[in-house]
Structure 1
Amino acid sequence: MERYMYRIPQWNGEFRNTGAGWEEYQNGVRVVGFVEQIRTADWITLFDGSRTLWVSLPVAGGQSFVQVGTAGPWAPLYHVDRIERTFTPAQLTILRNDSATARAQLDRVIHRLTENPIHPTAVLTKTRQLVKNIFKINVIDPDVPDLPVQAFNYANLVAEFKTLRSAGFDSDPTFVFEPDYTGPLQAWVIGTTDPLVHISPNHFYMDRPNLVITLIHERAHTVLRLQGHPGWDDNQFIPPTPGEGSPFMTHDQAIKNPYCYEWLTAAMRD
C-alpha cells in the first residue's frame, strides 16, 4: 500500500493508494477520492473532478502542492511523509524518545507511591487519593476497617509498578512496524506473552504524551500478564480525568486492568 501522511493541528491526515485509486483520510475518516493523472520519478499528481482540484505529492516525501481550477496557481498544501515498509531513522528516534519518557514517568509514579514522610504532605495525600480512586485501595482514610488488607494491596501495587518499569522499560521494547495497518490503534500487543509491540503509522502523527501512556498500557499486558480489560469491556466508561478512575471496577478488576496503570501514570505526570 502506498501512503503519504501529514499532521496539522486539526487532524491527522493521509493520502492512500488503495490500488483502485487514491483516497484522502482525515482522522481516519475518508473525505475524498482522487484519480492518479501523472507520475514521474519525483511527483505524483492526483485529480479530484468533483472540485476541479489537483494535488501534487513528492514521491520521496516533503512539501505537497494544490491547484484549484485549470488556471489557478500551485500553492503549498501539507508537508507529507512517505510511509516506508520499515521504520525510518526518524521514527526509531521517536520510539527511543517515547521509551525514555515512559521510563521517567514510571520512575515518578514509583517515587510518589513509595514516598512516606513522617508528616503527610499534600502530594502524598493526592497520591493516596488517586490510588483509592483508580485501584480501589484505601490507605488514606484513618478509620478504614481492613487496613492490613489495604496495606498489603498497596504494597502489591508498588511491586507491580516496579515490575512494569524494570521488565517493561529497562531496555527499549521490541517494536514491529505495521505499515499497512489502517485501523484505529496506534500501538498494540498480541496476547500476554509475546513481547513485541506493534506500531501503526498513525503512532508517529498523534499526540506524543498520550502515545507514551499507550506504550505503558501495552507493556502492562505482557509484562504483568494482564489479559483483556476487566471491568471495562462491558461498561466502556471513560473517566473525565484519569485520576478519577472508574466507579464500576472492583480492586480485583483494577489491579488486572492495564487502563488503571495508564490512568495512574497519566494522573501523576503533573
Structure 2
Amino acid sequence: LSRSMISHPAIVSIHVVMMLLASGGFLAMMLTLIAIATYRVFQINLRLLLCGMAALIMMRSLSSAVRAAFFLGIFLFGRTRCEDSTWLVWRCQSYSIIIAGPGMATGYAFLGVAFERIIALTLGKKYEDSKRPLVGAGVTLVVWFEYLYTVISEWVALNRYEQKMDDLLPYCTSVSHHGVSVTTRLIIPCAVSYYILYMITLIGSFIASSMSTRGNMMLGTIIKEICSLAFNSYSPIFPAILLKREPGLSFRMRNKPLKLNEPPVSTHFD
C-alpha cells in the first residue's frame, strides 16, 4: 500500500506542484519581508508584527518545500518501503511537526496585529508617532515562543517514542494531522484569506481521515494532499495582497523615499 501511494501519479504531481509553489512563495515572502523591514511605510510596532508574521509564513513555505523534496527523493531513489523504516517515518513526522507549528502560530500573529491596531485606534496620533516597538516586540516574542514551544515539545516527544512510530502511518509522507485603514486595506484581507484556507485544510483533513478509515486510503491521501497544497498557496497570496494594497511597499519606491514630514500611506483613514 505504501509503495502504491508513493508512486501514484496524483500524489507525485501534487508534491511537484507543492515544491514549486512553496519555493516561489518562500522567495516572494522573503522579498516582502525585506520591503516591510526596510521601507518606513508602517508604524514601527506594526512593521515588527508584520515581519514576524512574514517570517512564520516563510518558515512554513520552506518546510513544505523540504517535505515535498524529501518525498520526491524517496520516489526517485526507490526508498518506498516506508513501513519497514522507522527512521523514514520519524523523518516524515518531523517535517509534519515543523510545518504544523507556523500554521497555528500565524493565527496568533493575526490576533496580535488586531490587538496592536486596537491600541493604535485608542491612543491615536501619540501612538502612531511613537518610536518604541514595545507592543510589536512583546507580541512577536509571544508568537514565536508559542511556535518554538510547539515544535520543540513535539520534537522531544517524537524522539522519545521514536521506536513506536513504525506503524503510525502507512503513508509516511502525510501532512500533519492537524495561520483603521491598515486594518481594512491589509490585515482583514490577509486574515480572511488565511482562515479560509486554514478551514479548507481542516475540513479536507477530516474528509481524508473519514475516507481512510472506510478503507479508501488512496482517495483519502489524495484529498489530504490537495488541501495541503491549497494551504501552501497562502505564501504567494500574502505578499500579493500586501503589495497590491500598500503601494509604499513596491520595490519601485526604493528610489522614492517617503518624506518624513508627510504621513505614511498606511495612516490615512478610509
| Smaller-chain TM-score bracket | under 0.3
Write 1 or 2 for the structure with the bigger share of strand: 1
TM-score normalized by the length of structure 2:
0.28
TM-score normalized by the length of structure 1:
0.28
Write 1 or 2 for the structure with the bigger share of helix: 2
Structure number with greater CO (CA < 8 Å, separation at least 6) is 2
Higher radius of gyration, 1 or 2: 1
